[in-house]
Structure 1
Amino acid sequence: MNNDAANAANTAKAPIPTPTVWLTLQATDAPALIDYYVDTFGFVLTARHGEGDVVDHAELLWPEGSGGIMLGTHRPGRAWSREPGTAGGYVVTTDPDALHERVVARNADVIRPLADTDYGSREFAVRDPEGNLWSFGTYPGQAR
């Protein structure tokens, strides 16, 4: 096995690191938004705290990498309070075509259709039910 093949095999076996940067947002209907992210986008719910329709804290991980979302029920007047629907995020995916097909099949509000960009990404954008903007594409950012 050459070095490239050995490195690829080791990378495939390496555990996905725990996220150290999280997108945080608040929602008017946090339980429904969690369900939407799991069903429509494919995030994985790993933690949810709270009673009934109130979500004190929830964590969702992106299955293709080490990123995640923390979200909870919007509570105006708290020190860490942001209006629902004001967040935006970019998520790297290795298969934007399949993900686009999935979100379209679930009647997502696609605001920018799947297309190739001039910077080498293949991507699309969606508005979630709370108004947050999500872009999904192949552009991984610049290496360090």
Structure 2
Amino acid sequence: MTTTNPALWLTLQANDAPALIDYYVETFGFVVSARHGDGDTVDHAQLNWPDGIGGIMLGSHRPGNAWSRQPGTAGGYVVTADPDALYERVLKRDADVVRPLSTTDYGAREFIVRDPEGNLWSFGDYPGEPARA
């Protein structure tokens, strides 16, 4: 099956979903593709990653729902073609850098940031290993 739409999404819940959406757009460069809800309640939002196919879906935390998870407990890895430029961007926005930009033992350029809700984000140029036939 060939598609141009992502088939795997990181999903998050937030105590302050509107603020987290703004943070992801301003600090990391995600692009809002959809946002549903009223006022400070976000029922569903889709943020696409501009470097390629993929993104996140998020909404306001609703304890007791079947899909409810504690905000601030997620982690994600995002592939970017230019981790150095993205690192400069997050530094200019006073992001909470957990691990500064560096080259790993396997040759990737990566850094880690904690978002305002506590989620960990690793950004780097490691695209993963190709799928085996």
With normalisation by structure 1, the TM-score equals 0.88
Aligned residue number for residue 60 of structure 2: 73
**How far did residue 76 of structure 1 move?**
0.4
Once the two structures are superposed, the pairs formed by residues 49-68 of structure 1 within 5 Å of their partners are: 49-68=36-55
1:129 aligned partner: 116
1-structure distance, mates of 2:52, 2:35: 20
Provide the rounded CA distance (Å) in 2 between the counterparts of 1:20 and 1:68: 10
Partner of 1:143: 130
| Alignment deviations for residues 30-87 of structure 1 (CA, whole Å, 9 cap, x no partner) | 0000000000000000000000000000000000010110000000011100000001
For 2:88 and 2:11, the matched residues in 1 are separated by 26
What CA distance in whole angstroms lies between the structure 1 residues aligned with 2:74 and 2:115?
10
CA RMSD of aligned residues (A): 0.9
- Normalising by structure 2, we get a TM-score of 0.96
1:46 corresponds to: 33
1:82 lines up with 2:69 in the alignment: yes
For residue 21 of structure 2, give the secondary structure of its aligned residue in structure 1. helix
Cα distance in structure 2, aligned partners of 1:137 and 1:46 = 23
Distance, in Å, in 2 between the alignment partners of 1:60 and 1:19 is 12
Which residue is equivalent to 1:3?
A: none
The percentage of aligned residue pairs carrying the same residue is 75
Q: Which amino acid aligns with 1:42?
A: G
* Rg comparison, structure with higher value: 1
Shift of 1:17: 1.7
Question: Unaligned regions of 5+ residues in structure 2, if any?
Answer: none
- Partner Cα separation in structure 1 for residue 111 and residue 55 of structure 2: 19
Aligned residue type for 1:46: S
Distance, in Å, in 2 between the alignment partners of 1:24 and 1:136 is 17
